[in-house]
Structure 1
Amino acid sequence: MIVYFVFPLLPLGIFFYCYINNKEGFISQKKIFSLFYYIGLIQFPILLLQMNFYDFFIQFNNSGQTIDWYDFMFGSFFIKSDHSLGVFLLLLIAIILLKKDHVQSIVMFPKIVIAYLGITIFLTESNISKLFLVILISSYVMIPLYKKHGKSLKFKLGIVFLSITLLFSGYLLKDKEFIQKRLGGTLERQISIEAAEKFYELGTAKRFQIIIVAVKKLETKWIGDGPYSYFNILTGEFKKTQHFTQLIWTYFDLGILGLIVVLCLMRYFIRYLDVDKGLPTLFFFGVFFVYSFYVPIFSDIAIIFSMFFIFSRKQTNYVKATKLD
Structure 2
Amino acid sequence: MLKIKLITIYKYLLLGIIALTFLFSGFIQYFIGVSSTLYTLGLTAYAGLLIVFDILLRRKVIVNRFIFVYLFLIIIITVSAVINKSGLLKLLLYLNFALIPLFTSYLMKLNNVLKVDLKKTLSNVFLTTALIQLPIILIQKYGYNFLIGLSRANQKIASVDFMFGSFAVKADHALGFFLIMYMLSLIFKKRSGENPKWFYFLIAYISITILIMESNLTKLVLFGVISFYFYLWSYKKIGVLGIVVLFLMAVLGFNLMIKSSFIGNEIYQILNRFSPEDSYKAVTRGYEKRPQVVVYQLNYEPFKWIGNGPYDYYDIIKGEFKKTIHFSQIIWFYNDIGIIGLLVALMAALLIVKSLNLRRESMMVLLMIMLLYLFMSNLFGDISMMLSLMLLSNKEG
Give your verdict on TM over 0.5.
Answer: yes
Distance apart, 1:186 and its partner CA:
5.4
Partner of residue 155, structure 2: 65
Question: Aligned ranges for residues 124-203 of structure 1 at < 5 Å?
Answer: 124-150=213-239, 152=240, 160=247, 163=250, 169=255, 174=258, 179=261, 183=265, 187=269, 190-203=273-286
Distance apart, 1:30 and its partner CA:
2.6
* Contact 2:161 2:172 (8 Å CA) reproduced: yes
Partner of residue 368, structure 2: 286
- Number of residue pairs aligned between Structure 1 and Structure 2: 304
TM-score (norm 2): 0.70
* Contact 1:96 1:103 (8 Å CA) reproduced: no
Letter in 1 for 2:219: K
Residues 117 and 294 (structure 1 numbering): CA distance in 2 closer, same or farther, change over 3 Å?
same
Partner of residue 237, structure 1: 320
Unaligned runs of 5+ in 2: 1-90
Letter in 1 for 2:301: L
* Contact 1:7 1:299 (8 Å CA) reproduced: yes
RMSD of equivalent CA atoms = 2.6
Partner of residue 54, structure 1: 144
* Contact 2:290 2:327 (8 Å CA) reproduced: no
Unaligned runs of 5+ in 1: 318-325
Partner of residue 122, structure 1: 211
Partner of residue 291, structure 2: 208
Question: Aligned ranges for residues 73-152 of structure 1 at < 5 Å?
Answer: 73-100=163-190, 104=195, 107-150=196-239, 152=240
Q: Pick the aligned partner of 1:298 from 380, 383, 393.
A: 380
Residues 194 and 273 (structure 1 numbering): CA distance in 2 closer, same or farther, change over 3 Å?
same
What is the CA deviation profile of residues 170-196 of structure 1, one whole-angstrom value per residue up to 9, with x for unaligned ones? Answer: 7xx85x6x6279738954654344342
Residues 184 and 66 (structure 1 numbering): CA distance in 2 closer, same or farther, change over 3 Å?
farther
The whole-number CA distance in structure 2 between the counterparts of 1:23 and 1:181 is 44
Q: Secondary structure at the match of 2:338?
A: helix
Identity fraction in percent: 33
Letter in 1 for 2:376: Y
What is the CA deviation profile of residues 213-272 of structure 1, one whole-angstrom value per residue up to 9, with x for unaligned ones? Answer: 123333321211111110111121111111341110000001111111101111111112
The whole-number CA distance in structure 2 between the counterparts of 1:160 and 1:26 is 44
TM-score (norm 1): 0.84
Partner of residue 391, structure 2: 310
* Contact 1:93 1:117 (8 Å CA) reproduced: yes
Q: Secondary structure at the match of 1:58?
A: helix
Partner of residue 263, structure 1: 346
Q: Secondary structure at the match of 2:170?
A: coil
Q: Secondary structure at the match of 1:224?
A: coil
1:16 counterpart = 2:98: no
Residues 88 and 158 (structure 1 numbering): CA distance in 2 closer, same or farther, change over 3 Å?
closer
Greater fraction helix: 2
1:273 counterpart = 2:356: yes
* Contact 1:250 1:258 (8 Å CA) reproduced: yes
The whole-number CA distance in structure 2 between the counterparts of 1:97 and 1:281 is 13
Residues 52 and 181 (structure 1 numbering): CA distance in 2 closer, same or farther, change over 3 Å?
same
Residues 75 and 247 (structure 1 numbering): CA distance in 2 closer, same or farther, change over 3 Å?
same
